Structures are given as structure tokens and as C-alpha cells.
Structure 1
Amino acid sequence: MRCSAHILNLIVNHELNDIKDLITRIRGAVRYIKSSPQREQHFKACIKKEKIASKSVLCLDVQTRRSSTFFMLEAALELQKAFERLEEDDPHYKLELNNEPPSKSDWYDARVLAKFLQKFYNTALRLSGCLYATSNSYFQEVIGIECLLSECAKSSDTGLCSMALRMKSKFDMYCWNIEKMDSMLLVALVLDPCFKMEYVKFCCTKLHPLHKVDELMHRVKEAMSRIFAKYQLYDSINSASASSTQKSNGMAVDGPFREACEPEDSLLSRYRKYLKAKKVGSCKSEVDRYLEESCEECGPNFEILSWWKLNCSRYRVLAQVAKDVLAIPVSTIATESTFCTGGRPSSWSA
């Protein structure tokens, strides 16, 4: 399973490389202002003339930290009119930028880009390794990005549409291919009692053909059943081992002596075991019972790990599955390291 932060980094880097000339022009404008206190004062005067109420502070980005590029664009966009006023009032501004200050189309494209970067940055923030997000949160963040890109790709605005299509092609390649998506991440969401299987189907049918969604649901159910079967086998082995240990610690002569003296008790005991085995064989598995029950109310204070802790007596084996699956890290790095250049997406065995 790939680190989500590295995947987001790849998508963002691809798009920023495609429009690097735009970024270079805005960076040059910011650098011009930050190069001396006098220019900063002149720029503040332009802000006052344009009556801009924003308290944003211009900052230069570090080109190896893509998050800083987002912060630079965010601040510059709020002060766009001041930049345009500076172009009129300061003759040295255009000369130092080789007569290529940011144009109106540059500012427009930067505003569109910032909208996408905001979404990617917020997603990286929530999936940050330093926050130890449970793995069920991954699907909701990913589906949110896909919905945004899909909606923008249908826009009549050609600039917005083309940028969304470029980012969506990279997004599908690295992050969200319904035919190749890691089933474990969907199992993690299904183990969220607020969503379960229906939420996955509901979201996917909004974006993909029904037959592909049905295939995905089948893969997720199979994956969940396989994992549960392995945990159930492990649990039964542990239970048998504990039972044999308990018997060996008791009086060895008591069992045979009791059977010899009171054969009817032995038959009764065997009959009870037979009924118990029959009942277990006819009962639904924990997975089926869990999926058939209605979803929990999902409030702001809902804690998924606390829920499984409280319900471990009802789902003894499935609770162990949830504890391990929800602990799968979806990101291995801190937020400030997410949008950085260089490096390949790390992966590990889940």
C-alpha cells in the first residue's frame, strides 16, 4: 500500500511542473517586493490605495516545499489588485521582471490552481502521519478529491476544465483506479460502523458504472471474509490451547473417575457440546451480523476505536480484525513534508 502523502505529492508536482512559467512570474513579483524595505513600503501604499482589507503577508516559497508554493499563491491572490496598482505606479517593477509581470490570465489560472491545492493540502493535513489517522479516513478523503476533480472537469470554463482533467488523469493513475484499488482500505471503511458497505457503494455509483461498483463490492466482501476466517482460525487455536492448559492444571484423576462413576453426566455433557456445535454451525458469522445491522449515528464526538472496544464482546473476532486494520498507517510523513520535490512514493506491505 502506498503512502497517501507521497501520492498527493506526485499529483501536485505534475501540475505545478505543467504551469511552472505561471508560478515563476508570480514568484518573481513577490521576490521584487521582498527584496528591499522601500519596495515593501511602496507595496503597502498600493494596498491602502486599493482599500484591500486582507491581512495576508507575502512570502516567498521554497521550491522543494510545494506547500510553501500554495501559501505564496494564497497570499498573493488576495493582494492581486495591489500588484496591478504597483505595475502602474512603479516603472522599475516591469523592467526587473523583464516586462513579464503576472498577467490577468496568470492570476486567473493561479486562482484555479489554488482551489485544487487547498483541497490537496487539507487532505494531507488530515491524513498526516503525525496525527495517526485511522485508515478508515482514507476513502472519504480520496472520494472527496475525485468528486471535486470530476465536477470541475465538466465545467464550461475551459481553464478550470483543462486543469481538472490533467489532475484527474494523474489522480486515476496514482490514487484511484476502481479496478486496482487496494481492498484493505475499503475494508477499513466498512469496519467503520457509521458507514459500512452501503456508503462505499453509494459513493462509487456516483462516479463509476454500476457493474464496476458491483465487482468492487464483491472484492471487498471476499477480502473481509478471508481476513475474518484467518483471525477466527487463530482465535480457535488460542482457545483450544488455553482450554488444554486449564485441564492439565486440574486433577488428572477427576475426569475419568467422574465418567466411570456417573456415566449419565458424561452423556449429558456431550449432548450439550453437540447442541452448542450445532447452534454455532447454524448461526450467521460476525461479519454477516455486523453488516446486516443498521449504521451508527455519526456525530462529531464519535470515536471508532472506542466503539469497537465497547462492542468487542458482541464481535470478539471482528473486533481484533478492526483493531489491526484501522491501525494501518495511510501516511508515513508529517504534513510539512508532504509536498516536497524528489523521491518516489514509498510503499510497504499491509
Structure 2
Amino acid sequence: MPVRWNSTYTMLGTALYFKSVFAWFAERDSIFKSHFLPTADEWDKLATMHSFLETFYDVTLVFSGTKYHTSNLYFKCVFMVHTRLLEAHAARQQFMASMLTDMKTKFDKYWADYSVFLSCAAVLDPRYKLGFIRYCYNKLYQRDEAQRRLAEVRATLVNLFDEYRGFSANMSSSSVATCDSDVGNSGFFNDYEQFMSTSRTHEERSQLDMYLDEPARGLNEKLDVLEYWSKSSMRYPELAAMARDVLVVPVSSVASESAFSMSRKVITVNRASLKPKTAEAIMCLQDWYHIKWVGKRKGKSKGNLQMPIVMTTSSHQILKMMAADLLLKKMVLAAAVDATKWFFLHVVCDL
């Protein structure tokens, strides 16, 4: 039976955790020992597969986070996945060869060209900066290619900062008062600008240059990046404004999609074997019950009960068959709870 890869990872972890239990049960059951007990070679393959999928599982959890910013973690996580794929290919595990080929193809299609914008988000994390980007590119590519990619990230970051600096300059100039309370110059300081231009010994450094020249924090240091930039807004006002806009971009749409998903409310641990039609029918009954409960609270009569759910083809067919049964129709209209009980007894349990 095909299952999702994350389910495979959790099942493998559970099996490896209870490895000693398998051996204990095999000593007491000869049939289990001869037909179902994994061999030593199979246990090694399970451990290899579990170790390989662990990185993907951890990265998926990070990208699906909802209570922290994820854009600054994109580069690090994709680098971990990329490195794991390259290591697995180098190991040449025959039992994983076809799977690795498909995974490598999909990775090269969607992820191999690291997002330059999200790479800039990693630079704006004081734990990483450009040094971490340089380290990762040097691990993955030849020297020339690594330098080209690093230069692209830096150029994008500089251009983005110039946009913010120009916007900030326009805002500050428009807010300056028009009245002039200074004393008149009367020609005393006509050569001031020339003097200053010749006395400058070095080029003025931008906020971005000063930030990048500072030493990076510890790679594994616990740090709230948004709080860091909030505290640094006085020192780097323009760069902090850019960092806040960049870091709040979510790296995945999983969080927003899960807010509208009902799968976990229907397919629970105790109901993981439901057929699609059965699951859709349960969702419809749940919606009916919710509307009926709201109607009771608002004082509506049972005759005005409406079914506002949008049905798919399969759910429409099964509900049409259920509605043909007068007893079920009466139960649904009279009390949604009784209808749910009948549905589980006669459809799910097939009594």
C-alpha cells in the first residue's frame, strides 16, 4: 500500500525502537520467526533508510512552522537536503537507487537554483551572514561557480538595500521643515565642500557594509532574529527596516493551507483506514451537525435546516444513496447525533 514518505519515516523509527521486541517475540513464536522477522541485512537497510529520511523530516517540520520566521532558515535547510542527497548518491546503495534518482531529479528541478531572495534572508541572520553562504557554496560547487553565486547574492542584497535607502532618504527629505533658522553664510564657507572632499581618506561605508563586517554570532546560538533587528533599529535604521520586511516572508504555504484543512479532524489515528467516500460522508454529517447546533442556539426550527456544504461527485453519490433511506433521512432531520450513530453502525461497521 503506497503511503507518504513521512509516514514511512515514523514507521521505520518505531520498528527500530522495538527491534529487541521483535527478537523477543520470535523466540516464542516460530511462525513469526520464519516468516516475519527481519534479517540482519534488512535491519541495516531500515536503519540506513531511516537515517536518510531524518534530514527531510526535520526540514519539513522547520518549513511548516507557524510560530517563528522561516525565511532565514531556508538556505541552511536546503543545503542540508542537498548535501544529504549527494552523500546518498556517493554511497551507492542499490536498494535506494531508483528512489534517489527520482528525488535528485525533482530537487534539481525545483531547488537546485537556490532562491537568491531567500539567500539574502539568510545573510540578514547575524548567525550566518555572507560567511555561511560562502561556506555552503564552497562545499557544493567548484570555486568559480561558488564565487559567482556568492557575488549574485551580494549584488542582490546591495540593490535591495539601495532601494530602501532611497526610499528612506525621500521620506526624511519630505519631512524636513521648510523654515531656516540657521545664521546666514554670507560667502564664508564657499570652499567647505571642496575641503571635505579632499580630506576624506576613505569611502563612506553603508549600514550594510558595517553589518557585514561585524563578526557573526555562533552558528547554533538561540536567537530571535526579529528581536535582534528591533534592537538594532537605532544603529541600522534602514537595514533594520529591510530585514523586517524580508524575514517575515514565509518560506512555505503549508501553514496557511493547514488553517483551511479538515483532514486531521476527520482522519485521526483511530480512523486512519477510512475510504474516501466514507471520509467525505463524515465531513458532510459533521457540517450538518454544526449547522443544526448553531440553528438551535439561534432559535431556528428544524424545518429550516440547510446543508451549505459544497459536495464533490463521490460525496454527492453516497449522500444520495443515504437520503434514499427514509429512516436515515428522518434521523438526519430530527437529530444529527442519531444520524451519526446510524451511519457508523450500518455503513462503517457494515452491520
Task: Label 1:68 to 1:277 Cα distance change in 2 as closer, same or farther (>3 A).
Answer: farther
Q: Find the aligned partners of 1:315 and 1:198 in 2 and give their Cα distance.
A: 20
- What does 1:29-40 correspond to in 2, within 5 Å? none
Give the CA deviation at 1:184.
Answer: 0.8
Of 145, 150, 172 in structure 1, the residue corresponding to residue 81 of structure 2 is: 145
Structure with the greater relative contact order (CA < 8 A, sep ≥ 6): 1 or 2? 1
Matched, 1:72 2:8: no
Q: Find the aligned partners of 2:74 and 2:210 in 1 and give their Cα distance.
A: 25
Q: Find the aligned partners of 2:20 and 2:222 in 1 and give their Cα distance.
A: 43
Cα RMSD (Å): 3.9
1:17-40 residue CA offsets vs partner (Å, 9 max, x unmatched): xxx6xxx7xxxxxxxxxxxxxxxx
| Preserved CA contact (<8 Å) 2:62 2:70 | no
Matched, 1:205 2:138: yes
Of 162, 186, 210 in structure 2, the residue corresponding to residue 289 of structure 1 is: 210
- What does 1:5-20 correspond to in 2, within 5 Å? none
Q: Find the aligned partners of 1:221 and 1:76 in 2 and give their Cα distance.
A: 47
- What does 1:252-263 correspond to in 2, within 5 Å? 255=180, 263=184
Q: Find the aligned partners of 1:67 and 1:156 in 2 and give their Cα distance.
A: 23
| Preserved CA contact (<8 Å) 2:122 2:128 | yes
| Structure 1 portions without partners, runs of 5+ | 1-19, 25-62, 341-350
1:317-342 residue CA offsets vs partner (Å, 9 max, x unmatched): 1111111111111123249969x9xx
Instruction: Indicate the residue corresponding to 1:121 in structure 2.
Output: 57
Matched, 1:174 2:110: yes
Give the CA deviation at 1:117.
Answer: 2.3
1:182-224 residue CA offsets vs partner (Å, 9 max, x unmatched): 1011101111222211211111111211221111112111111
Q: Find the aligned partners of 1:305 and 1:88 in 2 and give their Cα distance.
A: 57
1:64-114 residue CA offsets vs partner (Å, 9 max, x unmatched): x653332222212333465477678658769xxxx9857546554433222
| Preserved CA contact (<8 Å) 1:127 1:133 | no
| Preserved CA contact (<8 Å) 1:150 1:164 | no
> Aligned with 1:129: secondary structure?
coil
| Preserved CA contact (<8 Å) 2:127 2:221 | no
Amino acid at match of 1:77: L
Task: Label 1:297 to 1:110 Cα distance change in 2 as closer, same or farther (>3 A).
Answer: closer
Task: Label 1:299 to 1:132 Cα distance change in 2 as closer, same or farther (>3 A).
Answer: closer
Task: Label 1:107 to 1:298 Cα distance change in 2 as closer, same or farther (>3 A).
Answer: closer
| Structure 2 portions without partners, runs of 5+ | 265-351
* Percent pairwise identity: 28
**TM-score (norm: length of structure 1):** 0.60
Instruction: Indicate the residue corresponding to 2:170 in structure 1.
Output: 237
Greater Cα offset, 110-119 or 134-143: 110-119
Amino acid at match of 1:307: Y
Instruction: Indicate the residue corresponding to 2:279 in structure 1.
Output: none
1:89-145 residue CA offsets vs partner (Å, 9 max, x unmatched): 658769xxxx98575465544332222222211112222232323411111112122
> Aligned with 2:175: secondary structure?
helix
Matched, 1:222 2:155: yes
> Aligned with 1:136: secondary structure?
helix
Task: Label 1:298 to 1:89 Cα distance change in 2 as closer, same or farther (>3 A).
Answer: closer
